[in-house]
Amino acid sequence: MGATISTCWEALPSATELFPPTPAVYTPILCCFQYFPLITVVQWILSWHPAGKTSSQSIFNIPGRIAWSAMEIVGPINLIYCMVTPSPYAPSFTDLPVSNILIATLYCTHYVNRAIISPFFSAPSMSPIHVAIMSSAMLFNWFNSACLAGWLRGYTMPTIPSFHTASSGIPSSRSTVADFIPVVGVIVFAMGMAGNIYSETALFQLRREEAEKRTAKKTDDETPGRQGSGNKFHKVYVVPPSRGVFRYILYPHYVFEWLEWIGFALAGTAVVPFSALPTSVSTSSVGIAPPLRLAPWLVPAAWAAGKLDVSLPLPAVIFVVNAVTNMLPHARWGRKWYIEKFGEKAVAGRGAVVPGCAWM
């Protein structure tokens, strides 16, 4: 047993191969991350999610603002580190095309809001988060940022199957469609981010107003901050009224975030792979990763990229799929929590993320 463990341990990549990932390690990381949706099956079965409004008392809890910031900041820190760290397998950061740097900027912009502005400036309070939730979110964001970093540094990775004429998956020519899609992507990303921030801000404002009402009434059984917190907004939650972005669904901020990452993936078709960079910025070591056999649910995206003759933004597509499959069960359990807390009448027949769908 000891020999087996030792052999497995020795087979793991070293820190220098992971930070940043080398081309040889990049493919296994991406391969693991593309199967994340299989893990989310557990989230459909178990409602246990000790964070936010469903958090509970535990010795393993971390203060909400600190835990949220920690798990969200991992992504941009790792992405920036991987992109600026010199590597023999990729050009230097200053030699990267503007399009690659722009995509990295979009990602970091999102997470500056998520890791700093939202927890410390926008949210009236944040319930404690269990260390297991914080740790798993940090791991998710590390995997995601590592996959994105290799892609944005220009690693070329053939996919199986590939629908491009070139085996490397690089489009054979630059078409009008290829120039148009990234522009649409940036617009969609901006719309999604604006909608996400607006929706969350509206929720925060509703919580503030409810806390102020409770404070004014000075009720004995529902005083804000009763549970050992000096923050009067602590554990004050409301079901959003059915108007505005909440007219048809309870979690528009989730849908807007998905829209944001779809735009990110569309914009990512402008990312220039290593093998397409000018010879003047090439290095002696070619940044070509081993081939990756795509998960079945990613094949349609590869087919569409081949049909449109654009680069496949595979890590960004994987991010979209993983974000949706991760957040969807949370939305479903969240709707159930709203019904248990406020009643079916308050929910008013709204779905979690699908209008009029009681199940979702």
- Mean pLDDT by runs of 10 across the 360 residues of the chain is 45 75 92 96 87 85 95 97 89 89 97 96 91 96 96 91 65 70 96 97 91 73 50 82 93 97 96 64 63 95 91 96 96 92 91 86
Reading the block at residue 51, the tokens are: 């964070």
Reading the block at residue 137, the tokens are: 């979110």
Reading the block at residue 90, the tokens are: 């990729």
Three-state secondary structure call for residue 160: strand
Measured CA distances, 350 to 20, 199, 206, 328 (Å): 44, 16, 18, 15
Range of the domain at 184: 17-165+175-213+236-276+283-347
Which residues have CB under 8 Å from 270's CB, separation 6+? 99, 102, 103, 178, 181, 182, 185, 311
9 and 1 in contact (C-beta within 8 Å)? Answer: no
In a domain, 219, yes or no: no
In a domain, 224, yes or no: no
Q: Using CA atoms, how far apart are residues 253 and 223, in angstroms rounded to an integer?
A: 28
The torsion of the CA quartet 320, 326, 332, 333, rounded to 10 degrees, works out to -160
Q: Using CA atoms, how far apart are residues 284 and 282, in angstroms rounded to an integer?
A: 7
Amino acid identity, position 116:
I
Q: Using CA atoms, how far apart are residues 122 and 204, in angstroms rounded to an integer?
A: 7
CA atoms within a 13 Å half-sphere pointing along the CA-CB vector of 318: 26
In a domain, 189, yes or no: yes
> What is the per-residue burial (b if ≥16 Cβ within 10 Å, else e) of 229-268?
eeebbbbbbbbbeeeebbebbbbbbbbbbbbbbbbbbbbb
User: What is the pLDDT, as a whole number, of residue 167?
Assistant: 44
Q: Using CA atoms, how far apart are residues 251 and 199, in angstroms rounded to an integer?
A: 8
In a domain, 186, yes or no: yes
Q: How many domains does the chain have?
A: 1
In a domain, 355, yes or no: no
261 and 323 in contact (C-beta within 8 Å)? Answer: yes
In a domain, 170, yes or no: no
In a domain, 323, yes or no: yes
Which residues have CB under 8 Å from 278's CB, separation 6+? none
User: What is the pLDDT, as a whole number, of residue 286?
Assistant: 60
In a domain, 180, yes or no: yes
319 and 264 in contact (C-beta within 8 Å)? Answer: yes
User: What is the pLDDT, as a whole number, of residue 165?
Assistant: 61
Q: Using CA atoms, how far apart are residues 131 and 147, in angstroms rounded to an integer?
A: 24
